[in-house]
Amino acid sequence: MTDTFVVVGGDAAGMSAASKAKRADPELDVVVFEKGEWVSYAACGMPYYVKGEIESLDDLVQVTPEEFRTERDIDLRTNHEVVAIDPEARTVTVAANGDRFEQSYDSLLVATGARAIEPPFDGIDLDGVFTIHSMDSAAAIHEYVESERPETAAIVGGGYVGIEMAEALDARGLDVHTFEMLPHVLQPFGESVATVVEDHLREKGVSLHLDTTVSGFAGEDRVEAVRLETETVSADVVVVGVGVAPNVALAEEAGIELGETGAIATDEYGRTNYDTVYAAGDCAESTDVVTGEPTHVPLALTANRAGRAIGQTVTGTPTEVGTIAGTAIVKAFDLGAARTGIVDESAAREAGFDPVSVEITDAARAHYYPGATDLTVTLVGDSETGRVLGASVVGREGAKRIDTVATALHAGMTVEEVADLDLAYAPPFSPVWDPIATAAKVLAGKL
Amino acid sequence: MTDTFVVVGGDAAGMSAASKAKRADPELDVVVFEKGEWVSYAACGMPYYVKGEIESLDDLVQVTPEEFRTERDIDLRTNHEVVAIDPEARTVTVAANGDRFEQSYDSLLVATGARAIEPPFDGIDLDGVFTIHSMDSAAAIHEYVESERPETAAIVGGGYVGIEMAEALDARGLDVHTFEMLPHVLQPFGESVATVVEDHLREKGVSLHLDTTVSGFAGEDRVEAVRLETETVSADVVVVGVGVAPNVALAEEAGIELGETGAIATDEYGRTNYDTVYAAGDCAESTDVVTGEPTHVPLALTANRAGRAIGQTVTGTPTEVGTIAGTAIVKAFDLGAARTGIVDESAAREAGFDPVSVEITDAARAHYYPGATDLTVTLVGDSETGRVLGASVVGREGAKRIDTVATALHAGMTVEEVADLDLAYAPPFSPVWDPIATAAKVLAGKL
């Protein structure tokens, strides 16, 4: 049990932990320091705000600061930045309103999140060049598109944020160019998803520049072009989405250990090397359900789950933060793409498995049912143990079926067991054998 | 190993077994006797043929008789009825073309299916009264609707076939009345699904007569009305869909044992009390994954799975037919409804569990995402072991998410484990916590 629970960072992990802890122990003092204005917002919704499908950024706020304070009785301080942690003294130093003060804690959660990586591109400070990782940057892009009426957009990075922003800016009527350093977009989703998505992006009019390194941006005050090695491509607005890096400086300075991934190392309860200091969300490592190894997958659900567990642990009910499968899903125009576990055979081999994979394409509904479209499933299994290792799916409908494989990964199921699942069938929803089960049947024959 | 594998019945279980066996052992003689014309057809597609969304019944045929014969080298004999089995002599007696002959076998699969129950209603033989269970009856209803232009339809039975036929006939412009003896439609889906579906059916203009016993049909040659206890309701066409009964007479006469459900009793390999006689599909029992007890759930996937397994077993690779969760899904106009495992608390108690259930309603996508609609999830757990026992879902989208629970049932997962699953999240596809996980979180708090 604890008397004062201090949380650094007021987004998914921090506010989940604060809320859970206060609910579990109403006597507990729960203090949250957030350096910005916004708390508990759905960052993943930002592309749809830029697209114009969501009217106001306020719609992305799940619980307002006022609600946290009055309804949940959490001492939430926005515009308060924690600038130092002293784990021995169990205090944090807080800067606010030009002043500094100390706050002591019994338990501390570091939930400082991640920031968009800004490569040292020439011209990254030009007007019209944005990253998208905070509500403020989403507001800035939205404002720029509305006021400056750019005609051509360059998206640097073909990850999920890049793909979502391509869709958003295309919907705004911009001519979109996407630049990806690697041979394919959506690298963590594997090649079979990437090729389907790439064809679809091109169909939709997106100009894909794969295997292409951006060296900088050109323009006087405002961006006018993207510089590549041998040419330049005009662009009135640029969105850089090349990934995120965990915010660990504060923790590192306090002697909190980082793991190999560069994020904060934690045990199964989300605890750091200091007994009373926890870390969760985009700044912390998690444990991979397939390999059992530390991994850094900065996604919203991971943050929420870990926050909730830590909120229980600090109030006397030790709760594991849980393992993650790295399950992810992304909308790319009319397609849905999803992945879970280990999709890449070489990554599976590195983790000590002997992987075999299959790719099948089947209708997402009964083939004769009106509107049936194809779902492509890639399933990876281990030939030694027969275990399922991971999967990806892509299609116009049915991408959420990745959840069947995610569940199977958490249960440690074999490929045969997945082939034998009693999944839901009726013509408007699935063929008799769901494409996931079909992939498992085919893979079982190869293991 | 076996030299001649005889299959009685050419639908899902029979043709799956025949195909798998022949593929596994091309030297094997595989003989299938089917008393009708049609083989390997998607019976579940029939309502959509009546609705007019599928042009021809031929579209529902997955593999034609000719393809089975030439491409799969199966000795398929349509219009051949097996009239007796002699398990001691290992022969079957076949009637065809007014003649009879004997066929010996090394292994036999009884896959005689089920038939629509026809209650002894007065007037059931009137023109315009149909059951729907065979391609011929689907063709007959279709023909009747096109040629006789009925204006009012009575559906007797609010099970999934009844609901699908209500949608089909409504789409044809008929005024539809549905009669259900029980207080709710879709009894196996539980009350929380039923009430949502009933509201929707009424919204769509279907007249629901619940808790209502039909005593017969009135009319001269053609049906004109449905007789209830105290009134009659006009109807130009009647579809009776009050369930199916397994076709077991042939097996019973041969001394093949039935189980308590009235279907053929089988072991984990689909074997009957005779070593060389198997049974699968709608005529046979299966094993429930939750209770471990025999059950009779005549659904397409169960038949396909068991047939495939038996095809492997008779060719020397003993393969269990697998357990079933009774997973089912049905489209009711704009809604999807699905169920798996034990949904009903009293059924759970009868099976020896101490059930607790919760019902939650949440958006199927992020609440702020355009077009987000509600999904209602009912989740049942056992308070002694924490195990998940079953679930139902209903909503305009997302009904296939029942597969997450079906997979959890096969894995024997606890409610806590389901709450902790790393399921796929992005605003267009789900809230951060998928409604299945939300239901599990709430239920975990009550166990």
At position A384, the amino acid (one-letter code) is E
Whether the per-residue pLDDT at B212 is higher than 70: the answer is: yes
Question: Is B411–A408 a contact, with Cβ atoms under 8 angstroms apart?
Answer: yes
A375-393 tens-digit pLDDT:
999 999 999 999 999 999 9
Question: Is A424–B402 a contact, with Cβ atoms under 8 angstroms apart?
Answer: yes
Active site residue B44: yes
Residue A304 has a CB neighbour count (10 Å cut-off) of: 23
CA distance linking residue B133 with residue B115, whole number of Å: 7
DSSP A145-160: HHHH--SEEEEE--SH
pLDDT at A296: 96
pLDDT at B134: 85
pLDDT at A68: 96
pLDDT at A238: 98
Whether the per-residue pLDDT at A1 is higher than 70: the answer is: no
B interface test, pick of A161, A421, A433 with most B CB neighbours within 10 Å: A421
Nearest residue to B434 via CA among A301, A413, A328: A301
The band of A41, judged by pLDDT with boundaries at 50, 70 and 90, is confident
Sort out which chain A residues have CB atoms less than 8 A from B53's CB and list them. 369-370
CA distances from B48 to A309, A364, B162, B225, B415 (A): 47, 17, 13, 25, 37
Whether the per-residue pLDDT at B1 is higher than 60: the answer is: no
A interface test, pick of B407, B417, B433 with most A CB neighbours within 10 Å: B407
Secondary structure of residue A270 in the 3-state scheme: coil
- Choose the weakest-confidence range: A49-63, A256-270, B379-393: A49-63
Side by side, which strands form the sheet with A328-332? Answer: A328-332, A335-341, A388-395, A374-382, A355-363
Least CA distance to A432: which residue of chain B? B301
Secondary structure of residue A414 in the 3-state scheme: strand
pLDDT at A2: 58
B328-379 tens-digit pLDDT:
999 999 999 999 999 999 999 999 999 999 999 999 999 999 999 999 999 9
8 Å CB contact between B243 and B157: yes
Q: Which residues contact A417 (CB under 8 A, 6 or more apart)?
A: A408, B410, B411
Question: Is B48–A369 a contact, with Cβ atoms under 8 angstroms apart?
Answer: yes
Side by side, which strands form the sheet with B335-341? Answer: B328-332, B335-341, B388-395, B374-382, B355-363
Sort out which chain A residues have CB atoms less than 8 A from B370's CB and list them. 48, 53-54
* DSSP character at residue B257: P
Least CA distance to A59: which residue of chain B? B368
Sort out which chain A residues have CB atoms less than 8 A from B428's CB and list them. 48, 331, 336
A interface test, pick of B421, B434, B436 with most A CB neighbours within 10 Å: B421
CA distance linking residue A112 with residue A8, whole number of Å: 6
B16-41 tens-digit pLDDT:
999 999 999 999 999 999 999 999 88
CA distance linking residue B79 with residue B416, whole number of Å: 54
DSSP B46-110: HHHHHHTSSS-GGGGBSS-HHHHHHTS--EEEET-EEEEEETTTTEEEEEETTEEEEEE-SEEEE
pLDDT at B43: 87
Q: What is the mean pLDDT of residues B235-240?
A: 97
8 Å CB contact between B401 and B376: no
Active-site residue, from A23, A24, A36, A44: A44
B156-178 tens-digit pLDDT:
999 999 999 999 999 999 999 99
pLDDT at A135: 87
Plot region of B342 (φ>0 → left; ψ -120 to 50 → alpha; else → beta): beta
Place of tokens 């926890």: A278
Task: Judge if ipTM > 0.90.
Answer: yes
pLDDT at A132: 84
What percentage of chain B's residues is helix, strand, coil (to nearest 5)? 30, 30, 40
Least CA distance to B321: which residue of chain A? A420
Place of tokens 């100009």: A207
The band of A371, judged by pLDDT with boundaries at 50, 70 and 90, is very high
Sort out which chain A residues have CB atoms less than 8 A from B411's CB and list them. 407-408, 410-411, 413, 417
Residues B192-204: b if buried by 16+ CB within 10 A, e if exposed: bbbebbbebbeee
The band of A43, judged by pLDDT with boundaries at 50, 70 and 90, is confident
What is the rounded average pLDDT for all residues in chain B? Answer: 96
pLDDT at A133: 80
B426 touches A at CB < 8 Å: yes
- What would the two tokens of residue B207 be? 């007249």
The band of B121, judged by pLDDT with boundaries at 50, 70 and 90, is very high
Least CA distance to A433: which residue of chain B? B301
A301 touches B at CB < 8 Å: yes
According to DSSP, the residues that pair with A214 across neighbouring strands are A228
- What would the two tokens of residue A381 be? 């299994």
- What would the two tokens of residue B216 be? 């017969």
CA distances from A175 to A124, A168, A169, A214 (A): 21, 11, 8, 18
Place of tokens 């642990």: A313
Domains and CATH numbers, chain B: 4-114+245-324 (3.50.50.60), 118-242 (3.50.50.60), 336-446 (3.30.390.30)
Side by side, which strands form the sheet with A214-219? Answer: A214-219, A223-228, A232-234
Sort out which chain A residues have CB atoms less than 8 A from B325's CB and list them. 422
A329-342 tens-digit pLDDT:
999 999 999 999 99
Percent of the residues in chain B that have a pLDDT greater than 70, as a whole number? 100
Place of tokens 């009669």: B179
Which chain A residues in 117-146 lie under 8 Å from chain B, judged by CB atoms? none
Q: Return phi, psi of residue A303, to 5°.
A: -65, -45
Place of tokens 């963590």: A188
The band of B2, judged by pLDDT with boundaries at 50, 70 and 90, is low
Q: Return phi, psi of residue B444, to 5°.
A: -60, -35
According to DSSP, the residues that pair with A228 across neighbouring strands are A214
Q: Which residues contact B68 (CB under 8 A, 6 or more apart)?
A: B15, B18, B19, B32, B39, B40, B74, B76
Whether the per-residue pLDDT at B98 is higher than 70: the answer is: yes
DSSP A60-90: GBSS-HHHHHHTS--EEEET-EEEEEETTTT
- Point out the residue among A299, A420, A426 whose CB comes nearest to the CB of B331: A426
8 Å CB contact between B333 and B167: yes
CA distance linking residue A120 with residue A230, whole number of Å: 19
Locate the DSSP E strands across B268-373.
277-279, 286-288, 294-295, 323-324, 328-332, 335-341, 355-363
CA distance linking residue A228 with residue A375, whole number of Å: 36
